[in-house]
Amino acid sequence: MQEIDNFLQNNKDWASKVTAEDPTFFEKMAQKQTPELLWIGCSDSRVPAEIIVGAQPGEMFIHRNIANQVIATDFNCLSVIQYAVNVLKVKHIVVCGHYNCGGVRAALSKQNSGLLITNKWLMHIKNVYRLHQAEIDAMPTEYLRVNKLVELNLIEQVHALSHTSIIQESWTKHNSPTLHGWVYDLSDGLLSSLISIKPGDEIHPIYQYVADES
């Protein structure tokens, strides 16, 4: 229990320090949030969103799940996106993947009968693998195969964002937000940008929403 109590003590220390530096900080924070960025990242404990980009409380709206996926039937992620876009009116959405992702590595393996729910969540990444199987299988080591799929999955998830009605409607009405795919390297702490999709960029026709003609 001592370790979990440490977190509570750390919290008291942090709140005291912040108040000492800016006595009105929490008063301002309690009024409203105006983040300009929605972050969709992996749940991995080694990729703490705010810390790696030096963001302060109030600057980033955040959703995390295993292997940073944007799945069209996931009401959790979709609700976060809808609120961030329609209410908070974020200017940017970042999907952040990371090399050596355990979720992506698991998706390249056989299914684990002890993790039946997680298997289902990873099914979408298995589909990304099948789309790019030749390119991934050409990599010389398992580590590099995982990292190639990390990149391809990330790009796929940014496209999946652009396929949502939420994004397409906002692009038409507000010319915003811009979508980004960043990958984080656990071995040096650095982010790289792999893709960005601007409002109005071409979306594959089968994912475009059109007026109901029925």
**Least distance (Å) between residue 68 CB and Co ion:** 7
- Which of 13, 46, 137, 174 is catalytic? The answer is 46
Nearest residue to 69 (alpha-carbon basis) of 157, 130, 185: 157
- The span of 23-31, 42-50, 56-64, 71-79 binding Co ion (CB under 5 A) equals 42-50
The site that binds Co ion (CB under 5 A) totals a number of residues, namely: 4
CB 35 within 8 A of CB 45: no
Cα dihedral sign for 121, 48, 56, 13? positive
Whether residue 92 lies in the annotated active site = no
Which one among 37, 42, 49, 183 touches Co ion, defined by CB under 5 A? Answer: 42
* Phi/psi at 195 (5° precision): -160, 145
Distance CA(204)–CA(163), nearest Å, equals 9
Whether residue 185 lies in the annotated active site = no
Whether residue 132 lies in the annotated active site = no
* β-pair partners for 62: 39
Which one among 37, 40, 90, 101 touches Co ion, defined by CB under 5 A? Answer: 101
Which one among 44, 60, 61, 181 touches Co ion, defined by CB under 5 A? Answer: 44
Distance CA(13)–CA(42), nearest Å, equals 28
120: tokens are: 């289902």
Which of the residues 118 through 157 are near Co ion (CB under 5 A)? none
39 or 171: whose CB is closer to Co ion?
Answer: 39
- Residue 84 in contact with Co ion, rule: CB under 5 A: no
Whether residue 64 lies in the annotated active site = no
178's enclosing H/E stretch is: strand 178-185
**Integer-rounded Cα radius of gyration of the chain:** 19
Question: What x-and-dash track marks residues 150-189 binding Co ion by CB under 5 A?
Answer: ----------------------------------------
Whether residue 124 lies in the annotated active site = no
Q: Which residues are annotated as catalytic? A: 42, 44, 46, 98, 101
